[in-house]
Structure 1
Amino acid sequence: MSLQLWSKQIRRTVSELMSRSTRRNRREKTWKSSEIQPLEERVLLSGTPVATEVLLNSTTRLPQISDFRANQAVAGLPNGGFVSVWESLAQDGSGWGVYGQTFDESGNRVGTEFRINQQTRFSQQAPSVDVSADGRFVVAWQSFHQDGSVNSVIARIFNADGSAATNEFLVNQTTRGIQGNADVSFLKNGNLVVTWHGRGNGDRFGVFARVFSSTGGAVTNEFGVSEFTKGLQYDPTIAGDSTGGFWVAWSGRTSGDLRAISARRFTADGTPLGGQFRVNQYTKHLQDRPAIAASDDGRVLIGWQSQRQDGSALGVYARLYNVDGSAR
C-alpha cells in the first residue's frame, strides 16, 4: 500500500466508516505529497485493502494541492460511503476554489464533483469537512478578502447527495486581520462548531470557535478557546465527543513551552469545562500539526508531529484521554 510516508508528506486525514454489508469498521485515508494529487485507499482495521487507489478529483488541469497545511479532507457517510473535499487552482475562474465529491461504499463516484464556495473572487482554500448522523455534511474553509480583511472563515452545509442545503455563511465576527485554518465538527444535538486561528477579542493571534445550528444559524458569538494569549496559537482541530460536547486541540506557546500541543473541553453551548491543558509530555523542540478524534465509548485521541523526539527530523505521537479529560 503506497502511503508515501516520507519527509515530504504533509498531512493525512483518517475517517472511520461503517460498511452496511459487512458492518466492519474501515478507515478512509487521504494523503498529500509534493508530487501527487489527492488519492484514496481504504483498508479494514486489519490493514487489508478493500479497494485500490482512486483519484478523487475529476478535473486534472492545474494542481489540486497547494502548500497550505490542510488542502483536502475526507469524512465517512452513514451509508458506508464518504465525501472528500479539496482545493483546486483556477477551476472556478479565479485563484483557488473548494470542490467536493461523494463516493459510495465501494469507492465509486456518486454524481459529479461540485463547487463548494459561492464567492469565487480571489482564493478559497484549506477545506475541512464533517458529517452528521443523518448524512448531511458541512464544509468550512478560509476565503481571501471576503469579509473586507485578509482572510475570513466561511462554511456551508450540504445534503447527503451533495446538493447544497444552505448558502455559504460567514463564521467569524472579528473581521480585522487574519482568520483561517478552520476545522469543523457536528455535535450530538445536530448543531455544529467551527474553530479557527487568527485575530479576535483579547488575542492578536489565538484560537476561536463558534457554535451554529443544523441550518447554519448562529447559536453563539465567537469565543476564545486558547487561554494563553502570548505568542501564536494556531492550527486548531476539533471533535465532538460522546457527551455531546466537544474538544479543541491546537499548537502554540504555553507557559514554559514555546511550541506545545494544548487542548480544552467544552459543553455543546461553548461553555468551557476547565482550562486549557498541555497534551505533549516531551517539551524539547517543536510539537505541532495536531489531529483529534473522539469515539462513541468515551475515548479521545490526540495526535501530533514532534521534532527530533524519535531521533529523526519529525515523528508522529499521540495521547489517549477519557472523555472527562483524564489521560489514559
Structure 2
Amino acid sequence: MKRLDWLQQLRKQLFSAFSRPHGRRRHKISTAKVVQRLECRTLLTAAPAGNSVQISQDPSNPRLQFNPDVATDSSGDYIVAWDGYSKTGVRGVIARRFDTDGHAFGGELVVFRAPAAQPFYPEMTVKVAMDAAGDFVAVWTEGTLSESQGIFAQRYNSSGSKQGDVIRIQDGSIPDVAMDAAGDFVLTWKSQSSDGTNTVKMLSARAYDVTGVQHGGDVLLASSTTAAFTTPVVAMNAGGEFAVAWGEGYTTSYDHITTIQSRIYDLDVELLKARDPFVSGAELQMSSIAIDSNGDEIVVWNNDTHQYGSQGEDVYALLYQPGSDQPSNTRVNTTRRGEVQGQVAMDDARDVTVVWTSVRPGPDILGQQFQLTGNAGARQLTPVGKELMVSQERQQQSQPSVAMDPQGDFRVAWLSSYYGNGDGYGHNLSNKDFARRYDSDLTPDNLSVSSTSIAENKPIGTTVGSLHAHDPNSGVTLSYALVAGEGATDNASFQISGAKLLTAASFDFETKSSYSIRIRVTDSYGMAYEQSFVISVTNVNDSPVIGGFSGTAYYSAGGDPLGIARSATVTDDSADFHGGKLTVKLTTNAQGTDVLSIASQGIAAGQISTYNDKVRYAGVVIGTFTGGTNKVGLSVLLNAKATAEAVQALLRSITFSSTLADPTTLPRTVQAMLSDGDGGTSSPVSKTIAFV
C-alpha cells in the first residue's frame, strides 16, 4: 500500500503554480480546476517535529521579549520577530530566521533600535510576513502608547539583508501585515484624528508591490466618531488577493464589540467582495484571519466577558466560502474553557490550524487542526486529530502566532513568562519567546504483522501475529485498529488487542484459504497510516471423522451376522489412507465366542469382498485384515488404493455374530477408530449391541 502522503505531493504541485523568481510581478491565478481534485480525500494530521526552540540568540540570558510573530516561506523556513532585547542588549524590534528543521540562520537581526535615552521604551506591536522565496517584511510601531504612534516597515531578502529604506506608513497603532507568494504585501492599522471637537476613528489598509512601491491609494475600511472598532487584521493568498476583517460596536465606559465585518480586495485595492456583517449576539474580540486561493476565508474570534480567561470565553472560527452568503461559525476549543487570543493559518489544500491561549488551567498554548470538507457552498470545518498541547514550558504562556507553508506544515511562536522579581519598572526579566515546528508528513509507516498466516481449525482468539510500525516522532504511543477501506473485505473475521492481531473466527482451509484485512496505526498525535494485508490459512491434516456410528443395534441369537452400522459415514480432507488403519473392537462384555467380521458382498462397484486376509473394494485390494475373534479386535491395515469412499463401504460391512446358539445376552459395546495416511486419527465412536 502507498503511504497516505499522496496529499503532500498534491500540495507541492498546487504550490508550484505560485512559485516565481525574485523581482517578478504578481498575476492572478485561477485554481478552480485544482480544487475539484481535493474533495473526498484522506485527511493528514501534523505532529511536532522536535521540541520547542527558544528564539533569542542567547537563551541562557533571557531578556524582555514580547509580541512574537511568525511567518514561513514555501519550503518551511521561517522568521520570528518580536519586541525586546537582542543578545547584545539592544532594545527594539528583533528578528531571527530559522530553517525548516528549526536551526537558526545566523544571529539576530535588529530591525529597529529604540532610543538609548529611553531604556524602558513602550511595548511595541511587531508583525512579520514572508513570501515563497523567503523574502520578508517586518512592521512595527514606534512612539508613545497613544493613538499617534508611528507605523514603520522594513523589507528584507531571504538572506536577511535590508531591501530599500524604512517605510513610514502612518500615524496609528497595532498594525497587521500579510504577503503573497511573490512578495507583494498589505498593511492594515487603526488611527484617529481630531478637529478639536470630534475625534474620528479610522481603519485603513495599504498595498505595496515586491519592490516596496505603493499600489493605489489608502483604503479607508471604516470610520466613525461614535462607533467602536477593533484593530483590523489582514491575510493574503498566494495570488495577491487579500481579506481584511475587524470588529464593530459601540462605546460606553468601554468598547462593546458585537459585529464582525469582512472585505476582500485585489492587490490594486479594488473591492472584490463585501461580506454581510456577522452579529455574534454577544460581545467579542477579533484576533486573526486567513484566506486561501479557493476563495475560502476564516476569521477567528472569541467571545468577550471582559474578564481575561474566564470560563465563559471560547475561541470561534467564522467560515466564509464561495457559493454561500451565510458564514458558518464553529467553536474551536473542546477540552477547556477560558480560551483567548486565537490565531489561524490555512493553505490552498484547505488545511486549517488554529492556536490559542488556554488560560485555565495554564496559561498554555493549545492548537487544533481542521480540514474544510464538503462540497462548494456547504463546506464545514472538520477537526483532524485531537487538540495539540503546543507549549512545553512550565511558565505562563500567551501571545501565540501561527504560519503555515503550502505543504500543510506549520510553525507556532508564543511568549512564555515567569512572574518573578521585576526590574523595578514593572517589567519582567524572564519573558522568553519560543517557536515550535509541526510537520504534516511525520506519519507512522512500515506497518507490518510478524506473521500473516494462521493454521486452520484454531479457536477464536488465537494470535496471528504481533503488529509493528515505525514512527518518526519520538516518545509516541502507537495504537492499532481494523478500519474500513480498500482491502478490508474480511475485517470481521479478525480482532486487534493491543499490538496483536487475533482471530475472530475459526478457519477451514478447504472452505477459504485467504482473508483480506485493513489495519490503521495511529500515534499519540493522531497521525495515522493504513495498509492492507492478506492473511493466509494454512492447511492442517484434518483427522478422519466417523459418523452414524451410535445408538443401539439388535442381534438375534443364533441368527445371521448383524451389520453393526450400515449407515456409517467416513469423511476426511486427506485422500491418502496409505498406512492408515480401521479398528473395530468390543470394549464391554466381550466373549471369546463373539466374532467381528467383514461381510463379503462381491466385486462389483461399491461392493466389499474378502479373499484370505485381503479386503477388496470393487475388486481392488485396499488392505489386509487380522483379528476379530477371541476378544481380539478386527483391524484392517489400509494401502494406497484405499479412499474415503472405500473405507466407508468397509465400515458399513463390519458385522457382529456369536458362535453359540445361546450366547450370554449381556449387551456389548463396540468401538470404531480410523487413522489416515497423514497421521490423523478420528475420535473413537461407540455403539451398543443388544440381544433379542
TM-score (norm 1): 0.80
Deviation at 1:175, TM superposition (A): 5.7
Which residue does 2:358 correspond to in 1?
Answer: 306
8 Å Cα contact 1:58/1:113 also seen in 2: no
Which residue does 1:170 correspond to in 2?
Answer: 220
CA distance in 1, matches of 2:137, 2:194: 26
CA distance in 2, matches of 1:126, 1:156: 14
CA distance in 2, matches of 1:88, 1:237: 22
Q: Which amino acid aligns with 2:347?
A: S
Q: 2:210 aligns with which of 160, 165, 171?
A: 160
Which residue does 1:151 correspond to in 2?
Answer: 201
Which residue does 1:11 correspond to in 2?
Answer: 67
CA distance in 2, matches of 1:174, 1:222: 19
Deviations 1:270-289 (A, max 9, x none): 8344x2111011343x2111
Alignment of 1:98 with 2:154, yes or no, is no
Write 1 or 2 for the structure with the bigger share of helix: 2
Which residue does 2:466 correspond to in 1?
Answer: none
Gaps of 5+ in 2: 1-52, 251-255, 374-380, 385-692
Alignment of 1:282 with 2:332, yes or no, is no
- Name the CA shift for 1:210/1:85 in 2 (closer, same or farther; >3 Å): same
Gaps of 5+ in 1: 19-23
Alignment of 1:229 with 2:229, yes or no, is no
Alignment of 1:243 with 2:294, yes or no, is yes
Q: Which amino acid aligns with 1:79?
A: A
Paired residues for 1:310-321 under 5 Å: 312=362, 314-321=363-370
8 Å Cα contact 1:287/1:305 also seen in 2: yes
Paired residues for 1:1-328 under 5 Å: 2-3=54-55, 10-18=66-74, 24-33=75-84, 36-57=91-112, 60=115, 66-67=122-123, 71-89=125-143, 95-117=148-170, 120=171, 124-145=172-193, 149=199, 151-172=201-222, 176-187=226-237, 190-199=240-249, 204-221=257-274, 223-225=276-278, 227-230=279-282, 232-241=283-292, 243-253=294-304, 258-267=312-321, 271-273=325-327, 275-284=328-337, 286-309=338-361, 312=362, 314-324=363-373, 325-328=381-384
Deviations 1:132-174 (A, max 9, x none): 2332110001112379655321110011111222222211266
Deviations 1:208-263 (A, max 9, x none): 212223211233446324x4222x21133101135331111111159x96211001
Q: Which amino acid aligns with 1:277?
A: T
Deviation at 1:14, TM superposition (A): 1.2
8 Å Cα contact 1:197/1:235 also seen in 2: yes
CA distance in 2, matches of 1:50, 1:240: 29
Partner secondary structure for residue 272 of structure 2: coil
Number of aligned residue pairs: give it. 303
- Name the CA shift for 1:76/1:187 in 2 (closer, same or farther; >3 Å): closer
TM-score (norm 2): 0.40
CA distance in 1, matches of 2:262, 2:156: 30
- Name the CA shift for 1:154/1:76 in 2 (closer, same or farther; >3 Å): same
- Name the CA shift for 1:138/1:206 in 2 (closer, same or farther; >3 Å): same
Q: Which amino acid aligns with 1:235?
A: M
8 Å Cα contact 1:150/1:178 also seen in 2: no
8 Å Cα contact 1:72/1:87 also seen in 2: yes
Deviation at 1:63, TM superposition (A): 8.7
Q: Which amino acid aligns with 2:108?
A: E
Q: Which amino acid aligns with 1:51?
A: G
8 Å Cα contact 1:173/1:222 also seen in 2: no
CA distance in 1, matches of 2:275, 2:66: 29
CA distance in 1, matches of 2:259, 2:67: 22
8 Å Cα contact 1:212/1:218 also seen in 2: yes
Partner secondary structure for residue 258 of structure 1: coil
8 Å Cα contact 1:246/1:268 also seen in 2: no
Partner secondary structure for residue 141 of structure 2: strand
8 Å Cα contact 2:72/2:131 also seen in 1: no
- Name the CA shift for 1:66/1:141 in 2 (closer, same or farther; >3 Å): farther
8 Å Cα contact 1:242/1:323 also seen in 2: no
8 Å Cα contact 1:289/1:304 also seen in 2: yes
Cα RMSD between the aligned structures?
Answer: 3.2
Deviations 1:166-211 (A, max 9, x none): 22221126663222321111246643211112328xx853322122
CA distance in 1, matches of 2:222, 2:123: 24
Deviates more, 1:298-307 or 1:35-44: 35-44
8 Å Cα contact 1:41/1:49 also seen in 2: yes
Deviation at 1:9, TM superposition (A): 5.3
- Name the CA shift for 1:269/1:65 in 2 (closer, same or farther; >3 Å): farther
- Name the CA shift for 1:140/1:97 in 2 (closer, same or farther; >3 Å): same
Which residue does 2:438 correspond to in 1?
Answer: none
8 Å Cα contact 1:188/1:244 also seen in 2: no
Deviation at 1:39, TM superposition (A): 0.8
- Name the CA shift for 1:306/1:157 in 2 (closer, same or farther; >3 Å): same
Q: Which amino acid aligns with 2:183?
A: G
8 Å Cα contact 1:152/1:178 also seen in 2: no
CA distance in 2, matches of 1:179, 1:317: 27
CA distance in 1, matches of 2:135, 2:178: 13
Which residue does 1:21 correspond to in 2?
Answer: none
Which fold has the larger relative contact order, with Cα–Cα distance below 8 Å and residues 6 or more apart in sequence?
A: 2
8 Å Cα contact 2:72/2:134 also seen in 1: no
Q: Which amino acid aligns with 1:88?
A: E
8 Å Cα contact 1:152/1:180 also seen in 2: no
8 Å Cα contact 2:284/2:304 also seen in 1: yes
- Name the CA shift for 1:9/1:301 in 2 (closer, same or farther; >3 Å): farther
CA distance in 2, matches of 1:64, 1:79: 36
- Name the CA shift for 1:39/1:271 in 2 (closer, same or farther; >3 Å): farther
Percent pairwise identity? 19
CA distance in 2, matches of 1:185, 1:32: 22
Q: State which structure, 1 or 2, has the greater radius of gyration over its C-alpha atoms.
A: 2
8 Å Cα contact 1:149/1:178 also seen in 2: no
8 Å Cα contact 1:196/1:208 also seen in 2: yes
